[in-house]
Amino acid sequence: MALLTDDQKMLQETAASFLREEGSIAKQLRHWRDSGCTDGYGTDFWKQFAELGLTGICVPEDQGGLGLGSVEAALVLEEIGRNLTPSPFLTTAVVGARAIEGTSHAERWYPGILSGETVLALAIDESRRHAPEQTALSAERRGNGFVLNGDKQFVVHGNSADMVLTLARTAGSPGDREGLTLFAVPKGAAEVDSVTLADSSKAARIKFDNVELDADAVVGDVDNGWGPLSRALNAGRAGAAAELVGVAAGATAMTIDYLKQRKQFGKLIGQFQSLQHRAAHLYGEIEIARAASLKAAELIDSGDEKAELMVAVAKAKAAAVSKLAVQEGVQMHGGIGMTDEHDIGLYMKREAVLGELFGDVYHHRNTVAELSGY
């Protein structure tokens, strides 16, 4: 991993101060949660992302974006994770933008992404576990288009999305990587059932009951959806890993502050070696997870053939480390950590959702084993 360039450090600083000030837990997560917001994030706040140019981070320069890569997206996502900032940044500006890059859908959706008016979502999962090749939702040719039948779940921001990128089977059977096609499904075409998740974010279960789409709804090529899907998923998994690193770092910073304030037995609890060693171990693990996450982003950006392996390593490592961080965080806070009033528990809930998104630790450990030939 090369060191960050001056431009990257500047972007990191911009994102850090914007999210610390405007994206704080009090201003965003708690505010929208407690006011019963149906989107789970502020739409005006999403426009502020656009004003800073951040929504166009992965959009090519000749199409009005910043034309940057996964490393830059990771820097922003770590700050999002640190502040638990709810926004459709990952699904729209990273996954969505990458999925439609170079296709006919780019022209249609990039302007809205750049102005902060468009939200995209990705619909893959059909059961409680992430397994893209097991996709069964069918897309049958009819006339000039397709008819879709089946169900999707865990579609993050699927309720507020203007377009849902939906993985469907046009040939073969569940288990095959061939015969999959990615469709751009516009808002209103399918039946969306909004669900609030443990971290107060919104996802959707979507029912496709004879949903008719034109042929131009296809993203990329029919039966060859695995390519654009992998591109989008690599970006999404590396992005989720970076956000998890931020969640871990945010929770741990809060916990270490607490170790320096809380007194018991007439001592600061941070003086106890049992807690010092656990905190020091955690610090090292977070550094390692960050290095893995940045390395994965770097390999994606350089088109390296090892990118897929490194992305799986990064997602598995970041999720495991983040889980350790939030568990230690709640435990070291003691009773106050169990209250809704304290923020540390919010980190635990966010970790659970991000850890599951685009494949959990078991999924990615298995990928590492398979790609290594065992």
Partner 1 sequence: MTDLESFRSDTRAWLEANCPPEMREPIRSDADMCWGGRNWTFQSDAQRLWLERMVQRGWTTPHWPKDYGGGGLSPGEAKVLKEEMARIGARQPLYSFGISMLGPALLKFGSEEQKKRFLPEIARGEIRWCQGYSEPGAGSDLAGLQTKAEDKGDHWLVNGQKVWTSYADKADWIFCLVRTSTESKHQGISFLLFDMATPGVSTKPILLISGNSPFCETFFDDVQVPKDQVVGEVNRGWDVAKYLLGHEREMIAGMGLGGTSGTLGAALKPDDPLLRAEVAVFDVDSIAFAAMSERFFEMFKAGEAHPASPSMMKYAGTELNKRRHELVMAAGGSDALEWDSDRSKNGKAARDWLRTKANSIEGGTSEIQLNIVAKHILGLPGA
Binding footprint of partner 1 on the chain (CB under 8 A) = 1-3, 256, 259-260, 268, 270-273, 276-277, 279-281, 283-285, 287-289, 291-292, 294-295, 309-310, 312-314, 316-317, 320, 364-366, 368-369, 372-374
Q: How far is the CB of 235 from partner 1 (least distance, A)?
A: 18
Q: Supply the minimum distance, in Å, between the C-beta of residue 361 and partner 1.
A: 8
CB 167 within 8 A of CB 135: yes
Which residue lies nearer to partner 1 by CB, 2 or 26? Answer: 2
Structure tokens belonging to residue 101: 């890059």
141-146 long-range contacts (CB < 8 A, ≥24 apart) are 141/170, 142/212, 144/214, 144/215, 145/212, 145/213, 145/214, 145/215, 145/217, 146/170, 146/183, 146/212, 146/213, 146/215, 146/217, 146/218
- CA-based angle 148:91:25, to the nearest 5? 135
Question: Judged by CB, which is closer to partner 1: 113, or 316?
Answer: 316
Amino acid at 78: E
CA distance 37 to 34: 8
Task: Enter the DSSP assignment of 248.
Answer: H
User: Minimum distance from CB of 266 to partner 1 (Å)?
Assistant: 12
Residue among 205 and 364 whose Cβ is closer to partner 1:
364
Which C-beta is closer to partner 1: that of 102 or that of 284?
Answer: 284
Nearer to partner 1, 106 or 282 (CB): 282
In the complex, the smallest distance separating the C-beta of residue 367 from partner 1, rounded to whole angstroms, is 9
Query: Taking the complex as a whole, how short is the minimal distance between the CB of residue 7 and partner 1, in angstroms?
Result: 16
The C-alpha atoms of residue 16 and residue 212 are separated, in whole angstroms, by 43
The least distance separating partner 1 from the CB of residue 97, rounded to whole angstroms, comes to 25
CA distances from 193 to 152, 157, 201, 346 (A): 10, 11, 14, 24
* Whether the Cβ atoms of residue 215 and residue 237 lie closer than 8 Å to each other: no
- Beta-carbon neighbour count of residue 38 at 10 Å? 10
**What is the distance between the alpha carbons of residues 93 and 262, in angstroms, rounded to a whole number?**
41
CB 119 within 8 A of CB 46: yes
- Alpha-carbon distance of 105 to 340, in angstroms, equals 43
- Min. distance of Cβ 246 from partner 1 in angstroms? 17
Q: Which is nearer to partner 1, 198 or 280 (CB)?
A: 280
Nearer to partner 1, 336 or 369 (CB): 369
Least gap, CB of 295 to partner 1 (angstroms): 4
> Cα separation of 266 and 54, whole Å?
48
52 or 256: CB nearest partner 1: 256
Task: Give the H or E element holding residue 284.
Answer: helix 273-301
